[in-house]
Structure 1
Amino acid sequence: MPPAASAPRLDRLRHWFAARHGLALEACDPTLAAGDASFRRYYRAGLPGGETRILMDAPPAQEDSRPFVAIAEAWEAAGLPVPHLYGVDLEAGFLELQDLGDTPLSAYFDDEASALAWHKRAIELLHRLQAAAPTEGLPAYDAALLGRELDLFPDWCLSWLGLPTPPSWPALRQVLIDAALAQLRVAVHRDFDAMNLMVQGKTLTLIDFQDAVAGPPSYDLISLLRGRYQRFDAATFAAFVDDFRERAQAEGRLPADLEAATWRHQVDAMAAQRALKVLGIFCRLTHRDHKAGYLARLPHFLDHLRDSLAGLPAHGDFRAWLEGDFAPALSAALAREGVA
């Protein structure tokens, strides 16, 4: 949202917050705390006693806040760490939330030991989420949604690069969908990323969960392990994946007879699906939504795609196309855009 368009809404947000707390308007001076890839903006506002709150501005014409509110209430009732909702005006698109500070999990990835320790904490939270969060009321992560996400890759990434969809694409696309649908259903955050896990002391809190669905247990795991900040070596990644399977089987979230090799195939397929989706989304954010900084992340997710496809040896034709056609075209396009 451009600043000129946000100014009237910020003034309305000030009036709303002031009225809620019986404050003089001049005492309300929200400051921008964060924006994201959507039209939502987050502001920090103070109360007379020194407590602060986060005010979400989600313009109703662009953002439907009802899923966020419903999920926040359901997950809080289930004992999960989510920001408390103090006030909601869905018609205006204003929410008043608990202030969780400014420190996301990604701030703790300075060294390998710290990154590993915090990833273990995050996976512990993921186990809690899958065990406690209800799936009732969540949209299904079905074949149609999985397919729409995959199609972001040819529709936005390949079209930007001027590349035709390779002949090997339909077969890979179907295998990735089938592998996701073969898994049991749990509540899926759908962006279980280190930017969406806020740190207070040693506690992690979930944010940005409005797109949650009922879907495969592997999705949030690979959102974390093959996200925007880390690229683990094969042995470390495999250890995380195997440990997750063993606990999820013990707790009944994965079938007791699920073999390690089958689970790893499902994880790699899910990771490939997400990497392809992200490559498409980042191109769309750049070229349709005019948001900066996303092209620079494309090589990182290309590496994630390579790692994921390494576990899917039956799709050698697509891997050959990726290296022979896609990777050089991407490098050339980024050079033209001035992206290092």
Structure 2
Amino acid sequence: MPKKDPRLAELQHWLTTGLGWRVERLAPASADASFRRYFRVWRKGGSCVVMDAPPDKEDSAPYLKVSRLLESVGIHVPHVYESDLASGFIVLEDLGDVQYLSRLQAGGDANQLYGDALNTLARLQINGLEAAQQLQPYDRAPLSRELGLMPEWFLERHLRLKLTPEERALITVTFEFLMSEVLDQPTVFVHRDYHSRNLMVTPANNPGVLDFQDALRGPIGYDLASLLKDCYIAWPRAQVESWLRAYRRAVQGRDLDVGVDDQQFIRWFDLVGVQRHLKVLGIFARLWYRDGKSGYLADLPLTLDYVLDTCARYVELTEFVRWLELRIVPRVAPANARVLARLPQRNATPTRKAETKPKPKPKPKPKAKASQSQSQSQSQSQSQSARPRGAPNDRPQRHVVLKAT
């Protein structure tokens, strides 16, 4: 017998009694890395999506505030039709179920899709300067909190690593360097999760933008790093830098005048990307150990690869990347295997953002640098020495690197 779902019953009651709707059909739409769930509701006249955010676990007020701010500067977010903060229900425009990630993995036009995403981001950063003043600052306090997730959840909990005083000192020095670099960047409206699972392919005003409730006023490079160093899909370094240069030219000389050359802009992008990916390593581990969501562990290798690749490019991070190579890299695959061995097969499916199947194999156009089994073998053979340096597509892979067409 299926378990009772009190929240679902409460939602159905709210729709039929509170709003007076005649619901023809209601089905799960997606879940995310929080306690929120989404249901697609069909009624006469079409469909909509209802967010279920239990008020004892999620505060939906920031979602409504940021939604209004984004709409005011022309960003395509789901329009809010109805809301009940006390109950934790919000009725939203249905943007469909085609994520950027699934379209890209199916061989979609990357230049077109990323062109749209970068144009939308430029519009947000240029037109959203005034709106950003209504957001909390992405200053030292949240940056430090986020970086602290990496040693707590990824190193100590997931990898079961007992850090020495010398290692803790190295981590502290590295984190201080990263925060200093990040805080030197111009500040803009920052979405904070602007990536392929939160961008929906839409027939007009593409893309639709989701999961924006944690927006802050912060570094210009942050959302660019979220998008172009996506934890779920990888692109060759040359392609990423080409997109970055085009973006800088697009915003240069407008209201958002970054006032730096390509080299400095790329440095901003790279170093805020390291901060983000260190945070994400901690978050992905925490999602399993605290929330029971194992699927994100599969994305740890790519996330760590971004950190290794970028740190190898900056002399200030040489000691840190050597330590990662020697102490951290060899432990990731065994730690993931330990978790997966404990899971019933039915629970081992990765948790995904929307109702798409877990990462399908790319069509012939995108190419993987190595198969999963090849990559594991390479990783084991390299565990006692530093791996080849260079862009992610230049060294052994555990993930797919796509080429824009």
Q: Deviation of residue 22 (structure 1)?
A: 2.5
2:120 pairs with one of 125, 128, 139: 125
Amino acid at match of 2:143: L
- Stretch deviating more after TM superposition (277-286 or 116-125): 116-125
Distance (whole Å) between structure 1 residues aligned to residue 300 and residue 71 of structure 2? 35
Q: Deviation of residue 37 (structure 1)?
A: 0.8
- Match of residue 286 from structure 2: 284
2:26 pairs with one of 30, 33, 49: 30
Amino acid at match of 1:295: L
Deviations 1:257-314 (CA, angstroms, capped at 9, x unpaired) = x132222221111110111011000000011111121111110111111222133222
Amino acid at match of 1:155: E
Q: Deviation of residue 229 (structure 1)?
A: 2.8
2:151 pairs with one of 132, 149, 154: 154
Distance (whole Å) between structure 1 residues aligned to residue 249 and residue 31 of structure 2? 38
Describe how 1:102-117 pairs up with structure 2 within 5 A: 102-110=97-105, 114-117=109-112
- Stretch deviating more after TM superposition (109-118 or 277-286): 109-118
Distance (whole Å) between structure 1 residues aligned to residue 108 and residue 315 of structure 2? 32
Contact 2:36 2:52 in 1 (8 A): yes
1:226 pairs with one of 218, 225, 229: 229
| Number of residue pairs aligned between Structure 1 and Structure 2 | 333
Contact 1:30 1:43 in 2 (8 A): yes
1:46 pairs with one of 37, 42, 45: 42
Distance (whole Å) between structure 1 residues aligned to residue 9 and residue 106 of structure 2? 42
Q: How does the TM-score come out when normalised to structure 1? A: 0.92
Amino acid at match of 1:55: V
Q: Deviation of residue 245 (structure 1)?
A: 1.9
- Match of residue 367 from structure 2: none
Contact 1:231 1:304 in 2 (8 A): no
Structure 1 unaligned runs (5+)? none
Change (3 A) 1:120 1:311: farther
What's the C-alpha RMSD, in Å, of the aligned pairs? 1.9
- Match of residue 137 from structure 1: 134
Amino acid at match of 1:242: R
Change (3 A) 1:290 1:178: same
More helix by share: 1
- Match of residue 7 from structure 2: 9
Describe how 1:138-217 pairs up with structure 2 within 5 A: 138-160=135-157, 161-163=159-161, 164=163, 166=167, 167-201=169-203, 203-217=206-220
Q: How does the TM-score come out when normalised to structure 2? A: 0.78
SS of the equivalent of 1:200 reads: coil
Contact 1:199 1:205 in 2 (8 A): yes
Change (3 A) 1:112 1:52: closer
Kindly report structure 1 stretches of 4+ aligned residues shifted beyond 6 Å: none
Distance (whole Å) between structure 1 residues aligned to residue 187 and residue 258 of structure 2? 11
Q: Deviation of residue 28 (structure 1)?
A: 5.1
1:259 pairs with one of 250, 255, 261: 261
1:58 pairs with one of 47, 53, 59: 53
Q: Deviation of residue 74 (structure 1)?
A: 2.0
Q: Deviation of residue 20 (structure 1)?
A: 4.7
Q: Deviation of residue 336 (structure 1)?
A: 2.6
- Match of residue 242 from structure 1: 245
**Identical amino acids, percent of aligned pairs:** 38
Amino acid at match of 1:214: R
- Stretch deviating more after TM superposition (226-235 or 136-145): 226-235
Distance (whole Å) between structure 2 residues aligned to residue 311 and residue 253 of structure 1? 27
Contact 2:26 2:39 in 1 (8 A): yes
Amino acid at match of 2:287: L
Structure 2 unaligned runs (5+)? 342-371, 373-405
Distance (whole Å) between structure 2 residues aligned to residue 265 and residue 136 of structure 1? 25
Amino acid at match of 1:95: I
Contact 1:189 1:212 in 2 (8 A): yes
Deviations 1:223-275 (CA, angstroms, capped at 9, x unpaired) = 0111123222221122122222222222242432x132222221111110111
Contact 1:80 1:132 in 2 (8 A): no
Q: Deviation of residue 210 (structure 1)?
A: 0.3
- Match of residue 307 from structure 2: 305
Amino acid at match of 2:64: V
Q: Deviation of residue 110 (structure 1)?
A: 3.0
2:297 matches 1:295? yes
Contact 1:189 1:213 in 2 (8 A): yes
Q: Deviation of residue 21 (structure 1)?
A: 4.3
